[in-house]
Amino acid sequence: MSSDRRVNPSEVLRPRNVGAPVKRTEDARLLAGNGEYTADRKPDRPLHLAFLRSSQPHARIVRIGTAAAQEAPGVVAVLTAEDIADDFKPVIPFSRMPNYYATPILPLASKKVRYVGEAVVAVVATSRYLAEDALELIDVEYQPLGAISRGETAIAEGAPLLHEEAGSNILIAREFKKGDVAADLKAAAVRVGGRFEMTRKAPLAMEPRSYAVEYEKRRDAITLYTSSNIPGIVRDAVSESLGLPGHRLRVVAPDVGGSFGSKGSLYPEELLICIAARKLRRSVKWTADRLEDMSSSSQAFAEIVDAQMGFDANGIATSLQADVIGDVGAFSIYPWTCGLEPVQVVSFLPGPYKIGSYRGAVRGVATCKPPTGPYRGVGRPISTFVTERLMDLGAAALGIDPLEIRRRNLVRAEEFPYRIASGIIWDKTGFIECLDAAAEAAGYDRLRKEQAEARKAGRLFGVGVACYAELTGIGSRIAVAPGMPINTGSETAKITIDSTGAITAAFGVASHGQGLETTLAQIIADDLGARFEDVRVIQGDSDEVPMSTGTYASRSAVLGGGAAKHASRLLQEKIKRVASHLLEANADDIEVTEGNAVVLGTDRTVNFKQIAKAVYSDMKTLPVDAREELSATYTYDPINGTTAAATHIAAVEVDPATCFVRILKFVVAEDCGRLINPMIVDGQVHGGVAQGIGAALFEELIYDEDGQLLTASLVDYMIPSAPEVPSLDVVHVESESAVAGGFRGMGEGGTIGAPAAIANAIADALSPLGIDVSILPMTPERIFRLMEQARLNSIGKADE
């Protein structure tokens, strides 16, 4: 044997896959049209669902006439709330939060409807076309109860109650306090403030929500294929609601076409389709059309924030107070509750800054709209928008550069761990490093010079900076949603080498575009000592691990990755023990790499296939007690989780004729810890920023006073298309976190920083006109009105 086959120990220890831009395992099938999304399932003779949805914002259901629909061609069943009353228990989005009312979740509206788009009747037919035909024959008589179309009107005297049992339209109220904010504001050298609004958004995954239940007559079992990013949570909730044990209820999230949060809650349609399949003992399919998806999937943001910030003469932020009204829609969602979005706003308002005193009060109020739920960033896009606007207002009032005022207030490297005024603890993260890296990459000083030139020429050119920090990979000590009783703090990896030597790793996480089949395999390949292409990752299938939740809250790299690392190590120990018998060497002298166990410094080696054969098949090679199953399971809990942070810098120009905003430059410097796959990380940042651009410039769900959605198509609800999104520069400040692998979560950050940076850039561009930016999106129409108002004001001043 030649010595060049020998393994060098330093090579063994160096990660080969983690940190490399490995091409994705998922891509070949998805590119060739061989993916399998829920709607692509082809069960035997499936039935198809269609929903009759409420046309009323708030009304009592007086009568539902279904006789004609029952007789329509192809119709198998017509179901109303009454027909299924005995088939389920309502799902309650419970929370230990005080001052919270948990609205029950029902498969179909019962007694009254609370938003336009709420499912009222379900038709099951032999085709979707025929099911939709039958919807036309259903006659529902409503008694209108008065629409509540805005958060402010919901809390007005004499407003109709959406949930009478709650006794109020305020479904959640909370307050965070630290120090004497009133005194500090009074003593401040400079006080800035305003009324800020982030309008209602749609997460808008390109794949509409889709469910397919496959009924197994043999054992009265069902498999729910769902376009969900929380298949584990859905499994547990449906099990409880329908009284069906987990071994007769499998929930699978196959290829999922994006979520961004909109597929991250339990939906009434998920309950209904399971109920229908069991009642009819048939497989049933349903996919939302775009109108249904826009008008019934969870929506986002929708907050009004009255906020003030005080600074001392040196530009140090001393105090911050805010009153937030969140328009949470008609129901509290499961499992996150209606507190998730608005409470997160007040939790994160102090941001990455050392603000001395704080008071943040929030009320989440019920309105006649679909519930708000998680959307990429949750709460932080608005908290960052408000805090970063206040920072810029303070900087302007004090004559300090926006970059400098942030440098003075950010938590510095030596000050971590740092507890901000709302109580959140930041672990060591490169806040200042991100600021400096972003400024350098953007050429900040050059941009300011360019701006001065542009202004001389009468152009509206602006530069905006935004910093944020977020909690990611949250462990069991912190609930992802306030007071929520389910465990979101751990994830399981189960890695097995079977009798053919093949490696299969099962997880409870549920990728919907993040590429976890690739990144988790990268981690396992390194830590187990396998070849990347030999590791198959299974995820999003409730049959594969005993308990799971899914992929949300920037957790899967940290929790799934941590579980992968630990399970890989455990399995590698087993491999070494078997190899030590086979190679007649001490287990400590064996290294496992590239699918081989090697005695260090020799050419003695066995591969995984030979090891598997020795353990499972060849009963002569190993003593009985050495035939350990080649499988390891580990449930990882990072306990606290870890911080991620970034600085975004945008340069924009506003066209005074069309009022369109053009983004000239956009730079992100982010600290997401150790990168598993830089290609995927950049992709996540690009996509997050594009959504942030949408939130800042285009996207707004508009409901009229009667609770009707006016922007229910992709023509009216505009998400960015290719010409509107600039090429981004992404810089990584790679400081390792304290969790396993040194990873940090990074799926949401782009959407958190971008709206604030763009808002600040627009405000900077328009500052010569004395225009402030306090609402997003800054559509051309809004900018036109602000510029008109500024023009009128200046004429008024000239007249005085």
Least distance (Å) from another protein to the CB of residue 431?
24
Q: Of residues 304-363, which lie at the interface with another protein (CB under 8 A)?
A: none
Question: In the sheet where 503-507 sits, what is the strand order?
Answer: 535-538, 503-507, 491-497, 631-636
From the list 20-28, 394-402, 609-617, 630-638, the region that binds another protein by CB under 8 A is 20-28
Contact with another protein (CB under 8 A): which of 129, 423, 452, 658? 129
From the list 296-304, 310-318, 581-589, 687-695, the region that binds another protein by CB under 8 A is 687-695
Q: Of residues 504-543, which lie at the interface with another protein (CB under 8 A)?
A: 512-515
Contact with another protein (CB under 8 A): which of 161, 719, 738, 790? 719
From the list 60-68, 74-82, 540-548, 684-692, the region that binds another protein by CB under 8 A is 684-692
Question: In the sheet where 170-178 sits, what is the strand order?
Answer: 170-178, 357-366, 317-329, 300-311, 190-201, 775-776
- Tell me: does residue 39 bind another protein (CB under 8 A): yes
Nearest to 341 by CA among 377, 378, 289, 308: 378
Integer Cα distance of 139 and 65 in angstroms: 5
DSSP 444-484: HHHHHHHHHHHHHTT-EEEEEEEEEEEEES--TTS-SSTT-
Integer Cα distance of 692 and 376 in angstroms: 9
User: Helix, strand or coil for residue 425?
Assistant: strand
Q: How many CA atoms lie within 13 A of 329 on its CB side?
A: 34
Integer Cα distance of 610 and 592 in angstroms: 13
Nearest to 791 by CA among 769, 762, 774, 760: 769
- Tell me: does residue 722 bind another protein (CB under 8 A): yes
Is the CB of residue 229 less than 8 Å from the CB of residue 551? yes
Contact with another protein (CB under 8 A): which of 8, 13, 14, 42? 42
- Beta carbon nearer to another protein, 282 or 428: 282
DSSP for residue 338: T
Contact with another protein (CB under 8 A): which of 7, 17, 18, 24? 24
DSSP for residue 422: T
Nearest to 763 by CA among 748, 745, 775, 749: 775
Q: Of residues 227-246, which lie at the interface with another protein (CB under 8 A)?
A: none
Least distance (Å) from another protein to the CB of residue 480?
22
Least distance (Å) from another protein to the CB of residue 472?
18
Contact with another protein (CB under 8 A): which of 691, 735, 737, 779? 691
From the list 18-26, 218-226, 774-782, 784-792, the region that binds another protein by CB under 8 A is 18-26
Q: Which residues contact 450 (CB under 8 A, 6 or more apart)?
A: 461, 651
- Beta carbon nearer to another protein, 31 or 639: 31
Least distance (Å) from another protein to the CB of residue 210?
10
Least distance (Å) from another protein to the CB of residue 777?
16
Residues facing 73 on adjacent strands: none
Residues facing 320 on adjacent strands: 309, 358
- Tell me: does residue 687 bind another protein (CB under 8 A): yes
Least distance (Å) from another protein to the CB of residue 552?
15
Least distance (Å) from another protein to the CB of residue 693?
8
Least distance (Å) from another protein to the CB of residue 748?
13
User: Helix, strand or coil for residue 495?
Assistant: strand
Q: Of residues 170-229, which lie at the interface with another protein (CB under 8 A)?
A: 204-208
Q: Of residues 255-284, which lie at the interface with another protein (CB under 8 A)?
A: 255-258, 260
- Tell me: does residue 160 bind another protein (CB under 8 A): no
Least distance (Å) from another protein to the CB of residue 725?
5
Is the CB of residue 614 less than 8 Å from the CB of residue 582? yes
- Beta carbon nearer to another protein, 587 or 679: 679
Integer Cα distance of 333 and 307 in angstroms: 27
- Beta carbon nearer to another protein, 381 or 529: 381
- Beta carbon nearer to another protein, 186 or 660: 660
Q: Specify the pairing of strand 210-216 against strand 221-226.
A: antiparallel
Is the CB of residue 507 less than 8 Å from the CB of residue 560? yes
* Cα angle for residues 55, 61, 63 (degrees, 5° grid): 110
- Beta carbon nearer to another protein, 120 or 668: 668
Q: Of residues 725-764, which lie at the interface with another protein (CB under 8 A)?
A: 725, 727-728, 750
> Where along the sequence are the contacts to another protein (CB under 8 A)?
23-24, 26-37, 39-40, 42, 129, 204-208, 255-258, 260, 287, 289-290, 512-515, 679-680, 682-683, 686-691, 713-715, 719, 721-723, 725, 727-728, 750
